[in-house]
Amino acid sequence: KFLLPEPATTHPSPIRARTQLAPMSTDFKTKICCIGAGYVGGPTMATIALKCPDVKVHVVDINPKQIARWNSDTLPIYEPGLDAVVKKVRNKNLFFSTKIDEAIQECEIIFVSVNTPTKTYGVGAGRAADLKNWELAARNIAKVANGPKIIVEKSTLPVRTAHSMRKVLMANDRKIHFEVLSNPEFLAEGTAMEDLDMPDRVLIGGMTTKLGQEAVQKLVDVYAHWVPMERIITTNLWSSELSKLVANAFLAQRISSINSISELCEATGADVQEVSHAIGKDQRIGKRFLNASVGFGGSCFQKDILNLVYLCESFGLKEVSEYWNQVVKINDHQKHRFATKMIKSMFNTISGKKIALMGFAFKKDTGDTRETASVYVAKHLLAERAKVSIYDPKVEKEQIEFDFNYYKALTPGREFKECVTVETDPYKAAEGAHAIAIMTEWDEFKKYDFKKMYESMAKPAFIFDGRLILDHAKLQDIGFTVYAIGKPYGVKYQNMDDLNA
């Protein structure tokens, strides 16, 4: 796990060896600020501060509670390794505050890492990115800047956003010059600190003008403190912006592809894990992102694909748009059919039955719940008047309740406390339940005493494994009725011998 800088001998690169052993400087060569103290801004700036002792880093946000938590012993986000890094550099060359204007004026490089959700209103609603926060940040930078600045897009944005933002910035009445760069993040939550420590690539896009290339070099010099030069890719602005959307679209496409095959496996008697293992051995395909599940979540995949869909529609590329939209449709279908399978398995009625959802984060090793499959599955269960009990080791009750309201998962006329309980003990969550559903692949779930859970549950007791992490044979021996994504349980022909029946 990535925690603190390793000895120079571990990384033979001359750049790495020199900078990782450098003492913390009080005379900073470069000053950087990041507007937005969220999942991207916080970890990214903490890593830059750690790797670049000659760089002063400000992380600013309009939310005082968010900043207070960054300055406390309880950070606002959970990410393995993050806490140790922040404690190492905080108040040395990494500073968190709400003083946005002062940070803009002090720093020459300004990262903008604000939220760009999918629009819920107007033209492009449900597909296009809502750039309101980004434009507000750009206008404020133009208003308070006291000299030339390099503005870095860190949020995921549509292609040619940089062009629009540059117009906003350059419209200032003081003739201050701005260069806009695109530097998309390629982090995976749960391994973000490792991804930042040893990135596959760092992508920087800029204008092809002399000033544009000078700005690109300035940002290259920051990353070169620890990233080998062959991993730093420079492109034009448009290629950089589009690469981020396409990367997430391709990853999500693989998940939807294997999830579509999981349904075929259930119908035919094939085993999706055996299929994914077999095709993953093909070096042209590879094994990554071939784990069938209840569906992908997170802040990026669905948002970025929908953004790509809208972009294609805007340019009249109907067939391309429909192709990528199908990735989202399959993901929605997977969540819906998982919930439907639960209902049908429990005799087509779950009214008044307690169902325990194990996991609410969209994936393990993070507290992020954005677009989590859990809330969508719960919505279907609540519509059938089930009682839902939730346990997650990292997600707080307040966040879960917020998500049920935000994603409109509650049945109209019913309040959260009437139909949902949040437990801090997984055994309490399962007590009296008719079924357990594994919604997040937390490692601790594999270690539970399921015999103890079984004894406390209503009978017949069901387990629905939406992440394929449990020992299904052992669970069946205990007495559970087991359903798992892509597994042929209940199929007439489970193996060749059955063909003689």
DSSP 387-431: EEEEE-SS--HHHHHHHHHHTT-SPTT--HHHHEEEESSHHHHHT
Tell me which amino acid residue 94 is.
Answer: L
Alpha-carbon separation of residue 85 from 78, 151, 169, 193, 277 (angstroms): 13, 25, 34, 9, 36
Is 207's pLDDT higher than 90?
yes
Confidence of residue 174 (pLDDT cuts 50, 70, 90): confident
Q: What tokens were used for 352?
A: 């008044």
Is 471's pLDDT higher than 80?
yes
Mean pLDDT of 324-347: 97
Q: In what order do the strands lie in the sheet with 420-423?
A: 420-423, 387-391, 354-358, 435-438, 462-465, 481-484
Is 79's pLDDT higher than 80?
yes
Is 8's pLDDT higher than 80?
no
Query: What pLDDT score does 125 carry?
Result: 85
Q: Which helix (H) or strand (E) holds 380?
A: helix 373-383
Q: What tokens were used for 414?
A: 């019913």
CB contact at 8 A, 480 and 462: yes
CB contact at 8 A, 111 and 154: yes
Query: What pLDDT score does 1 carry?
Result: 33
What percent of the chain is helix, strand and coil (3-state, nearest 5)? 45, 15, 40
Query: What pLDDT score does 181 carry?
Result: 95
Is 497's pLDDT higher than 70?
no
DSSP symbol at 12 = -
Confidence of residue 451 (pLDDT cuts 50, 70, 90): very high
Q: Considering the candidates 33, 34, 107, 300, report the single residue annotated as catalytic.
A: 300
Angle between helix axes 237-268 and 161-170 (nearest 10 degrees) is 150
Is 309's pLDDT higher than 50?
yes
Percent of the chain with pLDDT over 90: 81
Three-state secondary structure call for residue 152: strand
**Digit-coded pLDDT (tens) for 386-415:** 999 999 999 999 999 999 999 999 999 999
Of 63-72, 132-141, 178-187, 399-408, which range is least confident?
132-141
**Digit-coded pLDDT (tens) for 93-121:** 999 999 999 999 999 999 999 887 788 88
Query: What pLDDT score does 495 carry?
Result: 58
Q: Which residues of 176-188 are buried (b: 16+ CB within 10 A; e: fewer)?
A: eebbbbbbbbbbe
Q: What tokens were used for 23?
A: 């003492």
Q: What tokens were used for 78?
A: 């959970």
Three-state secondary structure call for residue 17: helix
Is 246's pLDDT higher than 90?
yes
CB contact at 8 A, 362 and 345: no
**Digit-coded pLDDT (tens) for 35-49:** 999 999 999 999 999
Query: What pLDDT score does 54 carry?
Result: 96
Q: What is the dihedral of CA 397, 400, 404, 406, to 10 degrees?
A: 110
The residue with tokens 């002792």 is 53
Query: What pLDDT score does 430 carry?
Result: 98
Query: What pLDDT score does 500 carry?
Result: 55
- Between residues 378 and 13, the one the model is more confident about: 378
Of 133-137, 223-227, 338-342, 378-382, which range is least confident?
133-137
Confidence of residue 173 (pLDDT cuts 50, 70, 90): confident
Is 20's pLDDT higher than 50?
no
Rounded distance, CA 300 to CA 46, Å?
21
Q: Is 140 exposed, middle or buried (0-12, 13-18, 19+ CB in 10 A)?
A: middle
- Nearest Cα neighbor of 152 from 29, 39, 237, 63 is 237
Three-state secondary structure call for residue 52: coil
Tell me which amino acid residue 250 is.
Answer: F
Percent of the chain with pLDDT over 70: 91
DSSP symbol at 361 = S
Rounded distance, CA 152 to CA 214, Å?
14
DSSP symbol at 61 = -
Please count the helices (runs of H) and the strands (runs of E) in the chain: 19, 14
Q: What tokens were used for 467?
A: 């992440």
Confidence of residue 360 (pLDDT cuts 50, 70, 90): very high
Q: In what order do the strands lie in the sheet with 94-97?
A: 94-97, 55-60, 30-35, 109-112, 149-153, 178-182, 202-206, 232-236
Is 6's pLDDT higher than 50?
no
CA contacts within 13 A on the Cβ side of 221: 13
Is 205's pLDDT higher than 60?
yes
Of 157-171, 300-314, 338-352, 438-452, which range is least confident?
157-171
Mean pLDDT of the chain: 91
Query: What pLDDT score does 14 carry?
Result: 31
In angstroms and rounded to an integer, the radius of gyration of the C-alpha atoms of the chain is: 25
Is 170's pLDDT higher than 80?
yes
Confidence of residue 435 (pLDDT cuts 50, 70, 90): very high
Query: What pLDDT score does 9 carry?
Result: 33
Residue 300 known to be catalytic: yes
Query: What pLDDT score does 299 carry?
Result: 84
Rounded distance, CA 460 to CA 479, Å?
8
* Residues whose CB is less than 8 angstroms from the CB of residue 315 and which lie 6 or more positions away in sequence, other chains included: none
Mean pLDDT of 341-369: 96
Confidence of residue 128 (pLDDT cuts 50, 70, 90): confident
Query: What pLDDT score does 305 carry?
Result: 94
DSSP symbol at 231 = G
Q: What is the dihedral of CA 67, 71, 73, 78, to 10 degrees?
A: 40
